[in-house]
Chain A
């Protein structure tokens, strides 16, 4: 089975720019979650998509937005980039939507650096 893949692996942007990160979920998984992991910290939940709709959101401003496509792949968009947005962005897929009892399968992440 194909695991979770994320692209790009690394990205450098400047303040004020916009960025789109992409994620292909594991085969058969219908739920995708996005996390921000700052250096030395645990992953912080951004939001989750289930069947193309936002299913839950963490404490992130509206300039963080996302999409899920019919094939369950997903995008994370961040507008008006700030220096504090520099982090590893992780995508995780799972099966089951709102249940919360399904383990998540993570990609290797996109390292975003803001100059």
Chain B
């Protein structure tokens, strides 16, 4: 079965420090990659996506992620975090399966930004 691994369950950082949240997936076949953010008691919101083209994708609030096909990774980075970035972050991969794409989520990384 296809899988998505988020190696860090929690990442504590200080405000204005850089951060990287790691995501690896199991398949080398064609996939679509997403990062979602979830605030307490809310649903998930799309942060950014990689479908094709440039391997570096960026969001409007300063996050970026780089698709690395050889390492089957899609790590999320931000050069300087804010308190408001404290949330749960989920990496998601759509794997081809029998003519359709099955979305698979990692277990999430809790980003905790301290003042």
B-binding residues in A (CB < 8 A) = 4, 33, 35, 40-45, 48, 55-56, 58, 90, 92, 98-101, 103-109
Contact = CB atoms under 8 A, between A and B. Distances in A.
B46 A104 contact: yes
Nearest to B30: A100
B63 interface: no
A104 B103 contact: yes
B97 A56 contact: yes
B43 A106 contact: yes
Contacts of B42: 108
B100 A42 contact: no
A41 B108 contact: yes
Contact of A98 (B32, B34, B99): B99
B102 interface: yes
Contacts of B100: 48, 55-56, 98, 100
- Give me the 10 closest cross-chain CB pairs, A-B, nearest first: A100-B101, A106-B43, A100-B94, A42-B105, A98-B100, A103-B46, A106-B44, A56-B100, A42-B107, A108-B43
B11 interface: no
14 contacts: A40-B107, A44-B105, A45-B102, A45-B103, A45-B104, A48-B100, A56-B97, A56-B100, A92-B44, A100-B96, A100-B102, A103-B34, A103-B49, A104-B46
